Amino acid sequence: MVFRLLLFCFLLPGLATAQTVQNPTATLLHPAAVFDGQTLHPGWAVLVEGQKITAAGPAASLPAPAGARTIELPGLTLMPGLIEGHSHLLLHPYNETSWNDQVLTEPLALRVARATVHAQKTLQAGFTTARDLGTEGAGYADVGLKQAIDEGIIPGPRLLVATRALVATGSYGPHLAAVEDLPQGAQEADGVDNLVRAVREQIGHGADVVKVYADYRWGPGGSAQPTYSVEELTLIVQTARATGRGVVAHASTAEGMRRAVLAGVETIEHGDGGTPEVFKLMKERGVALCPTVAASDAISRYRGWKKGQDPDPQRIIDKHRAVQAARQAGVTLAMGGDVGVFPHGDNALEMELLVQDYGFTPLEVLRQATSGNARIFHLADRGRIAPGLLADLVAVAGDPTQQVQALRQVRLVMKGGVLYRQP
């Protein structure tokens, strides 16, 4: 038995949990620079005691307390743990297995086993928080996954989970015209009584946020069209808000987006068909956009697009137009890639594409993925480096405020004062 345990630990050197990692009471981190969620500070250090940051400032003014451990991080930038705004831990890339087959044929135990690995990869990539927006047919498995992480059974990011998500009857998938009563990738609900019941059921099972599909492709091969009325969407928002929870909306059509914004959702996911008028409305109502450019890029490549060689497909053209219009309107952008469509642990792809293909600066996307997402998702205890906040910290080689590729060079990951990765 001892030999098996030692072999297990040897084969998984990166695997660490809150139960197996022992840290001293205080840790002083000495990087080359600190990005605090807004600004880069060369020569700063950060003091961690227990689960919290207790001090941050010029290294000369932060001597190590008695008994503290000092970790030297030469050439590294220390920053807040990154926050993934749109993930699906219970999915894996569609070029491995189609979405339909994942929902219809993969056993739940297999999907959960994959998800535990996905959670570890996400954390090791420097993402210490993730908003997971739907289990896609896996019920409430995300709630159990979150519990396993919180209890230190498995390593992973802090999760905000949406459980099953809400769809109008007949509007989601899988769609097989010859087969009735197929399992669906989300919970079908319509009308006053059913919608209120469904929202309350999901919250009762552990949803931190409610996700609704404000539009989707109707029928096999159908085009995206609005699903719920403004009145139905407003009811969803009001029911969730009464419990202190926000609503996010999948929406890719202008009308679906308009209805969701009028209803009071907090974020629009995707937004490909947004018009200047809709983005103006989003700005006025304080609704953020999570554009998920990486998912569009990945799906286009899966369908044969040779990026840099072939003309851009319509999906990519629409995404560029929408992101540009949102920026021109001054809409707040959340950082989230719809990871699961592409590999978990590759979360930084969204930030790279925003810089390389969409004209953002590395500093802009870094702020989005830290203090920006924390503000949008109401996470006042993280996303910045300041006394009193959670010690969710990541160190990367180089300067990510100048070179977005530095985000691939993760050298240290700390969550709640516990080291899960170190040089």
pLDDT at residue 13, as a whole number: 41
Confidence check: pLDDT of 12 > 60? no
* CB burial string 140-156: b at 16+ within 10 A, e below: bbbbebbebbeeeebbb
pLDDT at residue 385, as a whole number: 98
Strand partners, 59: none
pLDDT at residue 177, as a whole number: 67
Give the tens place of pLDDT for each residue, 364-384: 999 999 999 999 999 999 999
Distances (CA, A) of 2 to 6, 9, 152: 6, 11, 21
Give the tens place of pLDDT for each residue, 186-207: 999 999 999 999 999 999 999 9
Q: Which two tokens stand for residue 327?
A: 């920026």
| Dihedral Cα 373, 379, 381, 383, nearest 10 deg | -10
Q: Are 141 and 90 in contact (CB under 8 A)?
A: yes
Give the tens place of pLDDT for each residue, 164-185: 999 999 999 997 767 778 889 9
Lowest average pLDDT, out of 17-26, 225-234, 359-368, 400-409, goes to 17-26
Give the tens place of pLDDT for each residue, 97-149: 999 999 999 999 999 999 999 999 999 999 999 999 999 999 999 999 999 99
Q: What is the pTM of this model?
A: 0.94
For residue 61, count CB atoms less than 10 angstroms from its CB and return exposed for 0-12, middle for 13-18, buried for 19 or more. Answer: exposed
pLDDT at residue 17, as a whole number: 45
Confidence check: pLDDT of 20 > 80? no
What is the length of the chain?
423
Q: Are 267 and 290 in contact (CB under 8 A)?
A: yes
Amino acid identity of residue 245, one-letter, is R
How far, in Å, CA of 277 to CA of 228, rounded? 20
pLDDT at residue 4, as a whole number: 40
Confidence check: pLDDT of 10 > 60? no
Confidence check: pLDDT of 240 > 90? yes
Confidence check: pLDDT of 266 > 50? yes
Only one residue has tokens 């345990």, namely: 5
How far, in Å, CA of 222 to CA of 343, rounded? 27
Q: Which two tokens stand for residue 394?
A: 């990541």
Q: Which domains does the chain have, with CATH numbers?
A: 2-81+384-421 (2.30.40.10), 82-376 (3.20.20.140)
Mean pLDDT score, 83-104:
97
With cut-offs at 50, 70 and 90, classify the pLDDT of residue 24.
low
Provide, rounded to the nearest whole percent, the portion of the chain with pLDDT above 90.
90
In 3D space, the residue among 270, 212, 271 whose CA is nearest the CA of residue 240 turns out to be 212
